[in-house]
Amino acid sequence: MLDMQHITKVYRTDLVETHALRDFNLAVAEGEFVAVTGPSGSGKTTFLNIAGLLESADGGHYRLDGDDVGALDDDARAGIRNQKIGFIFQGFNLIPDLDVFDNVDVPLRYRGFPARARRARIERSLELVGLAARMQHLPSQLSGGQQQRVAIARAIAGEPRFLLADEPTGNLDSLMARQIMDLLGEINRQGTTIILVTHDPELARRAHRNIHVMDGEVTDLKPFAARAGAAVA
């Protein structure tokens, strides 16, 4: 489903040149739940931004669903983000002026769904995250965990095939974090491919596969089961 080959990304300022990704290679199959771990500054978020078409790579090839998406123009990338990719961010990234219903509605608006279809999808996704009763609330009226669940509802309302989560529990307490991970697990079981960026090994362990990134390169691609077994042995 996702195939990155020799991806490079360099951030340049007048004084500094930072190699965020160097020869980054990764393939993710449909339906996988992949955790990407690594220390701060290792390139996890850059990888996620490129995977989510929020940024473009400086080199290498990126194929999504078999299509080369590396050279697409801005509008085409926006279209793919809208139709195929859901985002969950550490900071929730809800629009503060809009209530819960309207926040979940945002990607559906750009998708061009008619009003009735949008309402049905919004209600369904909010029910799934347990916030159907809070549709009229503003983000500021919700707890952090609730806000993140709204963000998840927004990410899944369009039924994307691919969910990118960047430290989705980073701002939550452990109980809330567990609930969010349970929710992501459930979404994955329903067929959505998930890539989760985290530096929490505990959370990463709940994924099918762990990718460890160091200095902009993938250093470890082992499934958790294999790694756990090796550790025991």
Partner 1 sequence: MLGYYLRLAWLSLRRTPAITLLMIGAIALGIGATTTTLTVYHRMSTNPIARRNEVLRAVTLDSWSPDQPWDRDHPELPPSEVTYRDAVAIAAGAPAARIVPMRKTSLTAEPGGGRPPFLVIARLATRDFFPMFDVPFAYGTGWDARADRNAEPVVVLSKETNGKLFGGENSVGRVLKLDGREYRVVGVLADWQPTPKFYDLNNGAYDTPEDIFLPFGLGAALDLQPGGNVNCWKSEALAGVHDLFGSNCTWHQLWAELRTPAEVERFQAWIDGYVVEQKKLGRFPRKLNNRLYRPDEWLARHEVVGLDSRVLLLVSFAFLAVCVLNVVGLLLSRFLGAAGSCAIRRALGASRGEIFRQHLVEVGLVGALAGLGGLAIGALGLKALEQLYSSYDRLTQLDLTMTVAAIALAVLAGVLAGLYPAWRICRVQPASYLKTQ
- In the list 42, 45, 147, 210, the residue contacting partner 1 (rule: CB under 8 A) is 45
Binding mask 203-232 for partner 1 (x = CB under 8 A): ------------------------------
- In the list 74, 114, 140, 175, the residue contacting partner 1 (rule: CB under 8 A) is 74
- Count other C-beta atoms under 10 Å from residue 147's C-beta: 23
Nearest approach in angstroms of CB 39 to partner 1 is 16
- Count other C-beta atoms under 10 Å from residue 176's C-beta: 17
Q: Alpha-carbon distance 56 to 105, whole Å?
A: 27
* Number of residues in contact with partner 1 under rule CB under 8 A: 28
- In the list 24, 33, 62, 89, the residue contacting partner 1 (rule: CB under 8 A) is 89
Collapsing DSSP states into helix, strand and coil, what is residue 131?
A: coil
Q: Does 96 bind partner 1 (CB under 8 A)?
A: yes
- 78: Cα within 13 Å, side-chain hemisphere: 7
- The region of 61-69, 93-101, 179-187, 190-198 touching partner 1 under the rule CB under 8 A is 93-101
Collapsing DSSP states into helix, strand and coil, what is residue 70?
A: coil
Q: Alpha-carbon distance 57 to 9, whole Å?
A: 5
Which contacts of 220-229 are long-range, i.e. CB under 8 A and separated by 24 or more positions?
A: 221/26
Residues 117-146 that bind partner 1 (CB under 8 A): none
Q: Alpha-carbon distance 17 to 11, whole Å?
A: 6
- Quick one: the chain helix, strand, coil %, rounded to 5? 40, 25, 35
- The region of 16-24, 82-90, 178-186, 194-202 touching partner 1 under the rule CB under 8 A is 82-90
- In the list 95, 133, 225, 228, the residue contacting partner 1 (rule: CB under 8 A) is 95
Residues that bind partner 1 (CB under 8 A): 45, 49, 52, 54-55, 74-75, 78-79, 81-83, 87, 89, 91-98, 106-107, 109-111, 154
